[in-house]
Amino acid sequence: MALVSLLSSEGAGGVRWNQGDAQTPSQGVISPTHFPPKAKRVIWLYMAGGMSHLDTFDHKPKLEEMNGQPMPESVTAGQQIAQLQGQKLNCFAPQHPFKKWGESGQSLSTIWPELATHCADEMCVVRSMFTEAINHDPAHTFMNTGNMVTGRPAMGSWLLYGLGSETQNLPGFVVMVSTGKFGQKQPIAARQWHSGFLPSRFQGVEFRSQGDPVLYVKNPKGVDHVRQREIVDAINAMNQLQQDATSDPEIATRIAQYEMAFRMQSSVPELMDVKDEPQHILDMYGTQGGDGTFGSNCLLARRLAERGTRFIQLYHRDWDHHGSIKSHVAGTAAEVDRGVSALIQDLKQRDMLDDTIIVFGSEFGRTPMAQGSGRDHHLAGFTMWMAGGGFKGGMSYGATDDLGYHAAVDRVSVHDLHATLLHQLGIDHARFSVKFQGLDSRLTGVEPARVVTELLS
Amino acid sequence: MLRDRQLCLWGVIALVHYATTPGFAEESARFNRDIRPLLSDHCYACHGPDANQREADLRLDTEQGLASVTKAGDLDESLLFHHVTSTVEDEQMPPADFGKPLSEEQISKLARWIQAGAQWQGHWSFQPISQEPLPSVKPPTPVSGLFVRNDIDVFTLREMILNHQSPSRAADRRTLIRRLSFDLTGLPPSSERVKAFEEDARADAYERLVDELLESPHYGERMAMWWLDLVRYADTVGYHGDQNVSVSPYRDYVIESFNSNKRFDQFTIEQLAGDLLPEPTQEQLIASGYNRLGMMSAEGGVQPKEYLAKYIAERVRNLGGTWLGATLGCCECHDHKYDPFTMEDFYSFEAFFADIEERGLYAGANQTGNWGPKIEVPTHEQTGKMEALNQAILETEQLLRTSTPQLETAQRAWEAQLPLWQTLTAVEQVSLAGASLEPKEDGSIFVQGKNPTTDTYRLTYDQIPSGMTAIRIDVIPDPALPAQGSGRAGNGNFVLTELILRKFDAQGREVGRLQLQNPTATYEQTGAADANPYKKWSIASAIDGDVKGQDWGWAVMEKSTEPQAAIIELVQDLTLAEGESVNVELVQNHGQHTIGRFRISATAANRPLQANQFPSDLAALLAIPRDQRNETDRAKISEHYRNIAPELAPVRESLADLNQQRKALQESIVTTLVTRTVEPRMVRVLPRGNWMDESGNPVSPSFPQFLNVSYTPATSRMSRLDLAQWVVHSENPLTSRVVTNRLWKLLFGRGLSPRLDDLGAQGALPSHPELLDFLALQLIDSGWDVRAMIKMMVMSGTYRQSSLVESEQLAKDPENHWLTRQARYRLDAEMIRDNALAISGLLVRDVGGTSVKPYQPAGYWAYLNFPTRQWKSGQGDDLYRRGLYVHWQRQYLHPSLLAFDAPSREECTADRSRSNTPLQSLVLLNDPTFVEAARVFAQRVLTNGDGDDAERLQWAFEQALHRHPTAEEAEILLSLLRRQLEGYKANQNAAQELASVGDYPSAADLNPAEFAAWISVCRALLNLHETITRN
């Protein structure tokens, strides 16, 4: 870094240009925050495809009793159903046993041995989530942007816009995708981390596990760090002259982006290279690094968090279990279990869990009814959980009905979740809006949303 | 320059004149422009659509409600006016405590509107396009010759004056030519052309340039970039495996249509319904491919009905997006929330597309490439070649068919030395596992009845040719066998695992097993042979005594529907004495793979004997003595002979060569998807868009009534042709406005109505509604002449303004609502590539053709599947084609295009976003395409640019930016040159590495360090904001 700061103080040809605050965090529009923030960043572990709440975090003994019997019509009448439409709706028992874990006695499925053993008392489990979309793509879009209609900013973009970035060497909003072996590999469209109507510099950047970690992040052949720096300096000096001559605000952005790009050229490889991690840490995450697994991405998430990235989203693209759910849900959980458990423990031992919110969950849940040997998409009730960032550990909140169908007690909407997350970051969701198409557009939409204070310590 | 300044001066005078002209500023208020927004802001909260908040049961958002409180031309009788001007606390509107009082100006607007007739207007874009008179006051000369260049400027200038704005001066010529070149061709001008334009003193120099660019073949390419986004053109199917699909002739059609300035109505009709036109031309069929550009799926497990519903709904969305500027998508599930489109309208639109032949699931297309109806589109050259080849093949075949006396003599000699095969007749034939062996008249044996897992056929013979040297087994395909093969396995195959011959004496005692050798077969299966020790299903494994396993044997899977034969020699000649016999055992131990029909024959001809001499049916014919053969038999035999006759070998070789050529040519002919019409399927309204719900009403093709287009169809059930004609009907209020608005955006960076995708209620009111209507009508009246419309726009003074803006003005009107300047914005993704290649001199300017593959990072396609794919970069010219020809992979678009906001084209894209991100910087800095462009640019600098470094720099700068560098700029770049030169002098290896980026040949004689340093300077030039900006 020293080299960078040295060289960037003066451009090629001795021309100085406005560097902005290259080494200091950029400010967001909410400064100061509406109230003192409890957390600085979010790591969202996104179980893409629709994790079954019934086989993982929401134990329903009654469903076991009624296995194979028709789902009472009173439960399903008038409900939106995806692929099971027009078919027999029979109860389908939880496919794995549940146990009580930790001092709190958190009820979790036995398919999470690591998480349950080490983190049950850190988890704040919400069992009464519901959403509005029953197919993956719109449900992802709703979960990420608060709206099913495309073109709205993802939450990460909102946060960068509102709070600014704490790193000028790495993107403030990073996405990584891992793919497992069991479900249908549902695609994840890049629009899930798009900045929508906010300026594109707030867009999420995908980090890859193969090839250049960020496309074109490597210098051309025969160009070393110093040569590249000189070129970037010249480009920026020239652009600065243009800006002086034209007052085009895009040029200032362009200059900032070249600075950012140049810094990324060293900071990204440095981030991705985990050789400075001790063996016991690698073992804890169950990775040697760089293998593109969920565990590897969890380790990188911690490294990003340490370096100030505001919003980190890890997709694990493997949870769409329309069939063979018994083996598949266990298999997919095993792909995720060690990584998430390691991440929580690791952040904790670094005193970072307090100001980092871990969010874990899917775009929706799965039906208590069987679809062959699997379960269909389900929007009426599902589970998400948080850890750290001022959320109460070892607690659970809300409940679905006896059969796990409807969020029945203390219902929490996706907008409520967003409002609560924003609150922990110091933002009053109702006061955080951007004019769009003549409306005050919010992450939490137009209907009232509630900060679920019961979850907060 | 002097002239420009004069213009500016005259502009000011003109403004003064306008502003002081009586009646101009006092123009009457219009409801949509002036009154509706005012009522919306100040009154609708209590007197609007929301029934729960409504006061006094009064609505001001409906024509009826508003009429109840206004009287045309009479302020005193208008309750509305009374309330907004009242000072009495109870009467005053809006109420003081509402906190949003009306300004004097707003009240005056209301007054003018009431006085002028209090006329209600429905939503602007759904109203008939009004015949807009030019603003009444014409500017006096000489001003009309300056800012006001044509009618457009009269509209824009009026708005400027009314809003206390003034136009910018005209841009200088180098800016204008650069702007025009990018806008009209997507390419930068050459520096020679810039110079010529700057020096062109003729009065019509500008117009000449405009005409020249509009006549350029690159005009069509530029317009195609725009159009292809709308019609979601891509080279892959989008869903799931995102496999390739060939549609590039459609892209060529679009380019050619713009280049020939096809009428836009015709262009529309050909795309929506080219196949329904009387005797459609190939061009019109290619155009009809428009309907087939949507995404398709070959994913096993897709429910065809669901995907048919997806495909047809997307067509309606695309129709709405491309032509109507309407967001119809929401009507798939419910009536539009903001516009009067209903669900029934949506499905009635769908019904127009119900006749398109398609499949919900293109099963197997990931392997076969069969994505439904397509046509071949040979080039002129290919057609000629094909005709010539066909003719040559015909002639050569004729040669092969013609018998000559020499050939007949040769045939006799050939026949005389042929082994004679005698079909053997068994005295007994049994299946050891209980199948039934039935002799046929042709001497073959048909196996039926029980189909055991394994079996051995034992055949006993007492008559064989004396001195038998070989046995022959023919397997014969039969329509009664599975898959019409020769075996009883499900796929028509069999496996002969062992062949055993035993001799018996007259007493029936086995004398011994006969030794076999030199086995050959007409075909041996190669598939599924990975584990086979012979690496194929060889006849050799049928006489090996099963030493390598009893599972292996002779099989013919790939060719089981053709007759095959195996010939095995006896090691010693065999002759049977009276009473002696021989058993032939066909052992078949491979599970469920027994033979279905076969024939056994024997010969006493001299060894060696090979199986592949001639087909088995011919063997039977040859066994007939010459004088007993009938005409057909003779013809067959001579035909066969001519196929092997050494005398005809050169002819056969030439035929094989011709056939090979034809095959290669056939494969090189591009195909393209087209629309084929079939009996329309039933379309129902799908409640909540649910494809499984069949309770909705069936609908037939019809148009939304509220648009009031008086279109009369010729037939009772309307077709896509009717739809197309309705779209471009002169009374359709949307199409022309939509197209005009988008053309405006191409030239001004922003639409007159800024929401390009939605002219409905959620869209934005045009900044200049009268101008938009004026132009939209002009477009229709001109015979949908797109080129004329573009010319009119770029000829305007409004277009020619400078894009430079004072920060004060920028703050006042950041979005340039009043068009007081031109726009500056980043080039589109494809143009950024084209520009770099053009500057470097690498750009290949060929127009049209199939898609190309420039360099792309390895592994970028790692997540593609069915099948997995690897990007293989093109070679030679293919690396340097324009961006619009780059292979458009929907799921993984080329990352350099993606970084600069090129859309995936899964759906209609009317308005690309224009972002500014670090990833873009990384592309320009490090993508090998741009590094190579800089390298080749540097080669040009060093070989073309004369003089010292400063002069070279000046030359390079002009190539990239079409202007001279300032002293300060030159110093920055020369300083960069010096630093880089120092660095590369110290590291010649690095210099050589940099000089080798990309495939394009390097100039060998350049000093490596100097070359590398100039590459760096050129990289900087290609990265400049100004370089990628149109201003």
ipTM for the predicted complex comes to: 0.77
Assigned CATH topology for domain B419-612 = Jelly Rolls (2.60.120)
* Nearest alpha carbon to residue A189 among A207, A202, A177: A177
B294-305 exposure pattern, b = at least 16 Cβ within 10 A, e = fewer: bbbbbbeebeee
DSSP B59-80: -SSSHHHHHTT--TT-STT-HH
* Nearest alpha carbon to residue B570 among B477, B470, B660: B470
pLDDT class for B543, splitting at 50, 70, 90? very high
Taking an 8 Å cut-off on Cβ atoms, the answer to whether B1026 and A242 are in contact is yes
Instruction: Point out the residue among B859, B975, B1026 whose CB comes nearest to the CB of A13.
Output: B975
* Maximum average pLDDT range among A181-190, B136-145, B150-159, B828-837: B828-837
pLDDT of residue B161: 85
Rounded to a whole number of angstroms, the distance from the CA of A364 to the nearest CA of chain B is: 19
pLDDT of residue B139: 52
Q: Are A397 and A452 a contacting pair, CB within 8 Å?
A: yes
B295: CB partners within 8 A, 6+ apart: B237, B238, B239, B310, B311, B314, B890, B906
Which residue type sits at B964?
Answer: H
pLDDT of residue B624: 78
B4 pLDDT exceeds 50? no
Q: Mean of the per-residue pLDDT values for chain A? A: 88
B17 pLDDT exceeds 50? no
Rounded to a whole number of angstroms, the distance from the CA of A399 to the nearest CA of chain B is: 29
Taking an 8 Å cut-off on Cβ atoms, the answer to whether B980 and A218 are in contact is no
Contacts 24+ apart (CB under 8 A), B234-237: B234/B293, B234/B888, B234/B889, B234/B890, B234/B904, B234/B905, B234/B906, B235/B851, B235/B887, B235/B888, B235/B889, B236/B888, B236/B889, B236/B890, B236/B891, B237/B295, B237/B296, B237/B297, B237/B298, B237/B362, B237/B365, B237/B371, B237/B890
A344 pLDDT exceeds 90? yes
pLDDT class for B201, splitting at 50, 70, 90? very high
Contacts of B972 in chain A (CB under 8 A): 11-13, 15, 234, 237-238, 241
Q: Which of A83, A149, A235 to mutate to test the interface with B (most CBs of B within 10 A)?
A: A235
Instruction: Point out the residue among B916, B968, B973 whose CB comes nearest to the CB of A253.
Output: B916
Q: Which of A26, A147, A231, A250 to mutate to test the interface with B (most CBs of B within 10 A)?
A: A231
pLDDT class for B13, splitting at 50, 70, 90? very low
pLDDT class for B144, splitting at 50, 70, 90? very low
A183 pLDDT exceeds 80? no
pLDDT of residue B945: 64
Residue spans in chain B of domains classed CATH 2.60.120: 419-612
Distance, in Å, from the CA atom of A358 to the CA atom of A386, rounded to the nearest integer, reads 5
Percent of chain B at pLDDT > 90 equals 64
CA-atom Rg of chain A in angstroms: 23
Q: What is the DSSP letter of B225?
A: H
* Per-residue pLDDT tens digits for B381-413: 999 999 999 999 999 999 888 888 888 899 888
- pLDDT higher at A160 or B907: A160
* Distance from the Cα of residue B523 to its chain's centroid: 42
pLDDT of residue A80: 65
Instruction: Point out the residue among B927, B1019, B1020 whose CB comes nearest to the CB of A216.
Output: B927
Taking an 8 Å cut-off on Cβ atoms, the answer to whether B857 and A212 are in contact is yes
pLDDT of residue A83: 67
> How many CA atoms lie within 13 Å of B73's alpha carbon, on the beta-carbon side?
1
Distance, in Å, from the CA atom of A212 to the CA atom of A218, rounded to the nearest integer, reads 7
B609-645 exposure pattern, b = at least 16 Cβ within 10 A, e = fewer: bebeebbbebbbbbeeeeeeeeeebeebbbebbbeeb
* Per-residue pLDDT tens digits for B694-726: 899 999 999 998 888 999 898 889 999 999 999
Stretch 169-198 of chain A: residues touching chain B, C-beta under 8 Å: 171, 179, 185, 187
Contacts of A260 in chain B (CB under 8 A): 918, 921
* Per-residue pLDDT tens digits for A431-455: 999 876 445 789 998 778 999 999 9
Rounded to a whole number of angstroms, the distance from the CA of A24 to the nearest CA of chain B is: 17
- pLDDT higher at B13 or B783: B783
Q: How confident is the model over B152-156, as a mean pLDDT?
A: 93
* Maximum average pLDDT range among A137-151, A336-350, B50-64: A336-350
> How many CA atoms lie within 13 Å of A290's alpha carbon, on the beta-carbon side?
14
B761 pLDDT exceeds 80? no
pLDDT of residue A117: 97
Q: How confident is the model over B573-582, as a mean pLDDT?
A: 93
Which residue type sits at B152?
Answer: I
Name the closest residue on chain A to residue B858, using Cα atoms.
A211
Taking an 8 Å cut-off on Cβ atoms, the answer to whether A200 and B992 are in contact is no
Taking an 8 Å cut-off on Cβ atoms, the answer to whether A200 and B915 are in contact is yes
- pLDDT higher at B48 or B287: B287
Q: How confident is the model over B587-609, as a mean pLDDT?
A: 92
Contacts of B1020 in chain A (CB under 8 A): 231, 234-235, 238
- pLDDT higher at B235 or B806: B235
Taking an 8 Å cut-off on Cβ atoms, the answer to whether B995 and A222 are in contact is yes
Instruction: Point out the residue among A85, A226, A248 whose CB comes nearest to the CB of B824.
Output: A248
Stretch 364-423 of chain A: residues touching chain B, C-beta under 8 Å: none
pLDDT of residue B425: 92
Q: Are B141 and B161 a contacting pair, CB within 8 Å?
A: no
* Maximum average pLDDT range among B3-12, B19-28, B727-736: B727-736
pLDDT class for B39, splitting at 50, 70, 90? confident
pLDDT of residue A204: 87
> SS3 for B593?
coil
Taking an 8 Å cut-off on Cβ atoms, the answer to whether A247 and B805 are in contact is yes
Stretch 259-318 of chain A: residues touching chain B, C-beta under 8 Å: 260-262, 264-265
pLDDT of residue A390: 97
> Tokens 């219902």, residue?
A411
Name the closest residue on chain B to residue A84, using Cα atoms.
B692
Name the closest residue on chain A to residue B1018, using Cα atoms.
A231
Q: How confident is the model over A142-167, as a mean pLDDT?
A: 89
What token pair was written down for B671? 């195909």
Taking an 8 Å cut-off on Cβ atoms, the answer to whether B1024 and A201 are in contact is no
Stretch 421-450 of chain A: residues touching chain B, C-beta under 8 Å: 437
Q: What is the DSSP letter of B461?
A: E
Name the closest residue on chain B to residue A82, using Cα atoms.
B690
pLDDT of residue B673: 98
Judged by average pLDDT, the poorest of B11-25, B461-475, B724-738 is B11-25
Whether residue B167 is preceded by a cis peptide bond, meaning omega within 30 degrees of 0, is no
Name the closest residue on chain B to residue A15, using Cα atoms.
B972
pLDDT class for B56, splitting at 50, 70, 90? confident
* Per-residue pLDDT tens digits for A14-46: 333 233 333 344 678 998 999 999 999 999 999
Taking an 8 Å cut-off on Cβ atoms, the answer to whether A12 and B975 are in contact is yes
pLDDT class for B231, splitting at 50, 70, 90? very high
Rounded to a whole number of angstroms, the distance from the CA of A86 to the nearest CA of chain B is: 8
Helices (H), A289-413: 294-306, 325-349
Taking an 8 Å cut-off on Cβ atoms, the answer to whether B807 and A203 are in contact is no
Percent of chain B at pLDDT > 70 equals 94
- Residue-range domains of chain A with CATH: 32-216+276-455 (3.40.720)
Distance, in Å, from the CA atom of A445 to the CA atom of A448, rounded to the nearest integer, reads 8
* Nearest alpha carbon to residue B538 among B507, B566, B510: B566
Name the closest residue on chain A to residue B927, using Cα atoms.
A216
B772 pLDDT exceeds 80? yes
Rounded to a whole number of angstroms, the distance from the CA of B215 to the nearest CA of chain A is: 33
Taking an 8 Å cut-off on Cβ atoms, the answer to whether A211 and B858 are in contact is yes
Distance, in Å, from the CA atom of B378 to the CA atom of B668, rounded to the nearest integer, reads 9
Rounded to a whole number of angstroms, the distance from the CA of A243 to the nearest CA of chain B is: 10
Name the closest residue on chain B to residue A212, using Cα atoms.
B857
Distance, in Å, from the CA atom of B154 to the CA atom of B144, rounded to the nearest integer, reads 9
Count how many pairs of residues, chain A against chain B, have C-beta atoms within 8 Å: 183
What token pair was written down for B864? 């593609």
Name the closest residue on chain B to residue A226, using Cα atoms.
B983
Taking an 8 Å cut-off on Cβ atoms, the answer to whether B919 and A261 are in contact is yes
Q: Phi and psi (nearest 5°) for A125?
A: -95, 125
Taking an 8 Å cut-off on Cβ atoms, the answer to whether B991 and A86 are in contact is no
Distance, in Å, from the CA atom of A152 to the CA atom of A154, rounded to the nearest integer, reads 7
Distance, in Å, from the CA atom of B111 to the CA atom of B425, rounded to the nearest integer, reads 114
Taking an 8 Å cut-off on Cβ atoms, the answer to whether B858 and A247 are in contact is no
* Per-residue pLDDT tens digits for B924-973: 999 999 999 999 999 999 998 678 999 999 999 999 999 999 999 999 99
Taking an 8 Å cut-off on Cβ atoms, the answer to whether B807 and A216 are in contact is no
Largest CA distance in chain A: 80
pLDDT of residue B598: 95
Q: Which of A134, A136, A152, A221 to mutate to test the interface with B (most CBs of B within 10 A)?
A: A221
A186 pLDDT exceeds 70? no
pLDDT of residue A437: 47
Rounded to a whole number of angstroms, the distance from the CA of B813 to the nearest CA of chain A is: 14
Contacts of A234 in chain B (CB under 8 A): 972-973, 975-976, 1020
